[in-house]
């Protein structure tokens, strides 16, 4: 038997700068044994397969799962007086996110309306209240002011992401947003192909070009049960009609027969090895989606294609618990009729400029514009526009799950500005509750996570805001009280006793979140007897020749933090002492009738006040020793001479503010 090897004039150029592709001339590259047997081709891999999977009507479905309502129940999620999510049964009544609550109820009297969870002062976690007065932002059952919480949706999103990782080992998964993720199937697909077709694992002895010999003719592919196959020979429906939520066709994926492979399509477009890869990935994606639906109760939709850009586009082809597959051969007819301004980054000023310059609206219209002409008008970087119009996207799928989020922010734009300093403490506590919940959730996954700094930011209208920050000491148990106490102190330092605040926005944030170092002490650790404390160097009180240390090198800063042993004649601890590393001064908290925890709190407060003293000195040395106040108007300073930033050119000017 003689093996036939396919011939093609198309070369796979990957990232090589050998000139841009002409209209879709890279859709059928020669795939060789080298491509199949290599493991590090990345975006240059002609067998690359990417999927974009998103949760259908995610916020609304989260509430359906929480309430245990029937999947046919129309439901919307409300945030104050705006709808932020509409499930598919509700869309059948013509309800959209642009509607008001009263209008939605007119269309569907039995509509279930759920207001998003809110934080309330005095509560450790956000809750759902019977009704919310949107005019005063108060729950009618009490006078507690509220703040919206999306924490429940974040947690459910993490559950879905964790299940995908469990069901799809070997895949790179990039969480693109709270309700969608990109999945790179390239590695497991290659392994499955080699297992299914073991004769591909070795280069044949008679291969004319050795490892660079093209793979033999691929087998036929059955697309049945794998999803909606986007047709090769016919343009797909317009995007507006393909979106059920916009065309009042929530059940389109069920009401219309799925597009499947037919004999004429195989005759016009022979099967390729990339089609084989697509079919393997589609099967894996379908299994994972079904597990998410069965075990967690969330329906998802997906698009499977050769890169991230096309996967995202194809995911919208059929929605609601469905997935679509875009073969390379189907790319031209799928892209040409699309409005090019619906492509990401082409919907703003750049898209408007291109439309005006060439009087075009669709991708097909723009294919007549040469790369040279596009670069003459919009600069060298417009090669990206030229390529994306032809379905080329070289961006990688990167697993961000292992990338530590270095900060957490809780913010509130106030419906009624804060005018008195005392009013700020309520919102500090509300924001502290959100930070406590989010950090404790993160510590369930990584117990040693801890922030270095707590930052408070306040803004007055559209003016530039003012900030104040403080080191955040490690505690064994993170509570709302711990964060609120530090936040209250920052608030007092930030606003002082001003009587004209008008603060319209407050933000509280953790920064410098990282894995705590081994041996890091908590506040309770400050109370260990001297005999068990670990001394470092000589006593800074008796010996001033100790080299200065960065106060941030340790939690709480300073050269040493110690306590004397308990007095045998007393039941309370002896004094806590702190030797400043910068000036050598000894700060002490004398024995009192307070509990050990209260004494430790006073000790930390005294230490922080001393650190702030040095901070003020540093500011004075820089010629700025004024107290920061939100209501205080800054004195104009002479502008420093700066180098003039060159005016952006070409495509860059459309992305600069």
Element containing residue 312 per DSSP (H, E) = helix 308-315
Domain 337-394, classified CATH 1.10.150.20, yes or no: yes
**Residues 286, 322: Cα–Cα separation, whole Å:** 9
- H runs (alpha helix) in 209-251: 239-242, 244-247
Each residue's pLDDT tens digit, 568-589: 333 334 455 656 766 667 666 6
* CATH 3.60.20.10, applies to 407-517: no
Cα–Cα distance, 457 to 469 (Å, whole number): 9
Q: Which CATH architecture has domain 55-151?
A: 3-Layer(aba) Sandwich (3.40)
CA distance 29 to 275: 12
- Give the closest residue to 228 by CA, choosing from 251, 266, 261, 272: 261
501 has a pLDDT exceeding 50: yes
Q: Are 454 and 470 in contact (CB under 8 A)?
A: yes
Q: Under 8 Å CB-to-CB from 413, ≥6 apart: which residues?
A: 504, 505
- Residue 68, pLDDT score: 93
State the pLDDT at residue 264: 38
Q: Could you tell me which of 281, 234, 289 has the C-alpha nearest to residue 259? A: 234
Q: What percent of the chain has pLDDT over 90?
A: 38
CA angle 277, 278, 281 (to 5 degrees): 85
Average pLDDT estimate for 497-505:
80
- Determine the Cα–Cα distance for residues 415 and 154; give it in Å rounded to an integer: 25
pLDDT band at 519 (very low <50, low <70, confident <90, very high): very low
Whether the Cβ atoms of residue 456 and residue 468 lie closer than 8 Å to each other: yes
C-alpha–C-alpha distance, residues 629 and 647, integer Å: 36
* Residue 357 tokens, joined: 């310059």
* Domain boundary assignment for the chain: 55-151, 337-394, 407-517
Distance of alpha carbon 236 from alpha carbon 531, whole angstroms = 78
Residues 88 and 81: their CA atoms lie apart, in Å, by 20
Of the ranges 141-145, 199-203, 512-516, the best mean pLDDT one? 199-203
pLDDT score recorded for residue 132: 65
Lowest mean pLDDT among 208-212, 328-332, 438-442, 565-569: 565-569
Q: Identify the three-state secondary structure at position 646.
A: coil
pLDDT of residue 441: 81
For range 107-113, the mean pLDDT: 94
Q: Has residue 199 got a pLDDT over 70? A: yes
Is residue 489 within 8 A of residue 525, CB to CB? The reply is no
**What is the structure's pLDDT at 163?**
93
CB 146, CB 416: distance < 8 Å: no
pLDDT at 87: 95
Model confidence at 600, pLDDT cuts 50, 70, 90, reads low
d(CA 311, CA 328): 12
Q: Is the dihedral of CA 202, 208, 210, 212 positive or negative?
A: negative
How far separated are the first and last CA of the chain, in Å rounded?
65
In angstroms, the CA 447 to CA 113 distance is 37
> Which residue from 473, 465, 466, 468 is spatially nearest to 455, judged by alpha carbons?
468
* 218-261: pLDDT as tens digits: 999 999 999 999 998 765 444 444 433 333 333 333 333 333 33
pLDDT over 90 (residue 495): no
Q: Are strands 449-450 and 514-515 parallel, antiparallel or unpaired?
A: antiparallel
pLDDT of residue 198: 95
Q: Report residue 516: phi and psi, to 5°.
A: -60, 140
Contact present, 271 and 218 (Cβ < 8 Å):
yes
Both tokens assigned to 558: 């300073």
Residues 632-642: what's their mean pLDDT? Answer: 49
CB 34 within 8 A of CB 213: no
Exposure of 597 by Cβ count < 10 A (0-12 exposed, 13-18 middle, 19+ buried)?
exposed
Q: Which two tokens stand for residue 306?
A: 């050769």
Q: Is the pLDDT of residue 360 over 50?
A: yes
| Residue pLDDT, tens place only, 11-60 | 343 333 334 456 676 788 899 999 999 887 888 899 999 999 999 999 99
State how far the Cα of 78 lies from the Cα of 149, in Å rounded to an integer.
12
CB atoms within 10 A of CB 81: 11
Classify burial at 377, counting beta carbons within 10 Å of its beta carbon; exposed 0-12, middle 13-18, buried 19 or more. middle
Give the max Cα distance, the chain: 99
Let me know: does 652 contact 521? Beta carbons within 8 Å.
Answer: no
Of 37-41, 116-120, 140-144, 229-233, least confident by mean pLDDT is 140-144
Region of residue 588 (left: phi > 0; alpha: psi -120 to 50; beta: else): beta
Residue 54: beta bridge partners? 180, 301
Beta strands of 445-600 (E only): which ranges? Answer: 449-450, 453-459, 466-471, 503-511, 514-515, 560-563, 576-579, 586-589
Contact 161, 399 (CB under 8 A): no
Whole-number pLDDT of residue 51: 97
Q: Give pLDDT, residue 514.
A: 85
Neighbouring CB atoms inside 10 A of 496's CB total 16
SS3 560: strand
């Amino acid at each position: 038997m003689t093996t036939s090897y396919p011939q093609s004039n198309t070369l796979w150029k990957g990232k090589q700068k050998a000139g841009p592709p002409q209209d879709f001339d890279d859709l059928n590259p020669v795939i060789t044994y080298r491509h199949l047997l290599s493991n590090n081709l990345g975006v240059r891999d002609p067998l690359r397969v990417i999927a974009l999977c998103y949760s259908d009507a995610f916020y609304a479905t989260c509430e359906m799962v929480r309430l245990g309502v029937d999947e046919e129940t129309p439901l919307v999620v409300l945030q104050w007086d705006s709808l932020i999510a509409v499930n598919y049964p509700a869309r059948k009544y013509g309800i959209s996110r642009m509607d008001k609550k009263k209008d939605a109820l007119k269309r569907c009297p039995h509509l279930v309306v759920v207001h998003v969870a809110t934080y309330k002062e005095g509560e450790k976690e956000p809750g759902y209240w019977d009704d919310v007065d949107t005019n005063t932002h108060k729950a009618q059952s009490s006078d507690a002011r509220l703040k919206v919480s999306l924490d429940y949706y974040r947690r459910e999103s993490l559950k879905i992401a964790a299940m995908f990782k469990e069901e799809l080992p070997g895949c790179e998964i990039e969480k693109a947003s709270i309700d969608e993720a990109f999945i790179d199937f390239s590695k497991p697909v290659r392994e499955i192909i080699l297992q299914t077709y073991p004769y591909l694992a070795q280069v044949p002895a008679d291969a004319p070009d050795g490892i660079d010999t093209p793979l033999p003719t691929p087998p036929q592919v059955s697309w049945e049960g794998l999803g909606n196959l986007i047709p090769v020979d016919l343009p797909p429906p317009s995007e507006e009609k393909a979106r059920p939520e916009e065309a009042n066709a929530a059940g389109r994926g069920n009401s219309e027969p799925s597009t499947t492979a037919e004999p004429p399509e195989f005759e016009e477009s022979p099967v390729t090895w990339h089609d084989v890869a697509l079919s393997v990935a589609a099967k894996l994606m379908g299994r994972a989606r079904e597990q998410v639906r069965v075990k967690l109760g969330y329906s998802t939709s997906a698009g499977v294609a050769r890169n991230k850009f096309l996967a995202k586009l194809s995911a919208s082809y059929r929605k609601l618990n469905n997935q679509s597959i875009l073969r390379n051969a189907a790319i031209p007819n799928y892209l040409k009729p699309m409005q090019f301004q619906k492509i990401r980054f082409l919907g703003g000023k750049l898209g408007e400029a291109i439309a005006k310059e060439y009087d075009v609206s669709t991708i097909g219209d723009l294919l007549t514009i040469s790369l040279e002409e596009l670069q003459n008008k919009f600069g060298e970087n417009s090669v990206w526009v030229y390529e994306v119009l032809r379905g080329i996207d070289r961006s990688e799928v990167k697993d961000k799950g292992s990338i530590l989020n270095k900060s957490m922010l809780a913010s509130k734009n106030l419906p009624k500005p804060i005018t008195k300093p005392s009013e700020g403490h309520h919102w500090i506590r509300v924001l502290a509750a959100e930070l406590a919940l989010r950090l404790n959730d993160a510590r369930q996954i990584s117990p040693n996570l801890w922030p270095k700094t707590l930052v408070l930011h306040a803004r007055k209208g559209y003016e530039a805001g003012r900030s104040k920050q403080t080191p955040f000491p490690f505690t064994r148990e993170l509570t709302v009280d711990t964060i609120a106490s530090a936040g209250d102190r920052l608030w007092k330092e930030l606003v002082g006793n001003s009587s004209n605040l008008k603060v319209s926005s407050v933000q509280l944030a953790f920064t410098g979140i990282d894995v705590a170092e081994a041996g890091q002490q908590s506040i309770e650790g400050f109370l260990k007897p001297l005999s068990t404390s670990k001394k470092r160097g000589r006593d800074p009180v008796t010996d001033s020749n100790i080299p200065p240390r960065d106060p941030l090198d340790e939690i709480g800063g300073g050269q040493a933090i110690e306590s004397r042993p308990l007095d045998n004649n007393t039941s309370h601890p002896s004094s806590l002492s702190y030797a400043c590393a910068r000036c050598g001064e000894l700060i002490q908290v004398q024995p009192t009738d307070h509990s050990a925890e209260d004494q430790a709190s006073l000790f930390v407060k005294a230490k922080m006040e001393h650190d702030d003293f040095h901070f003020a000195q540093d500011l004075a040395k820089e010629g700025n020793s004024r107290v920061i106040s939100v209501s205080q108007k800054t004195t104009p300073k002479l502008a420093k001479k700066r180098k003039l930033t060159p005016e952006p050119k070409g495509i860059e000017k459309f992305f600069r503010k």
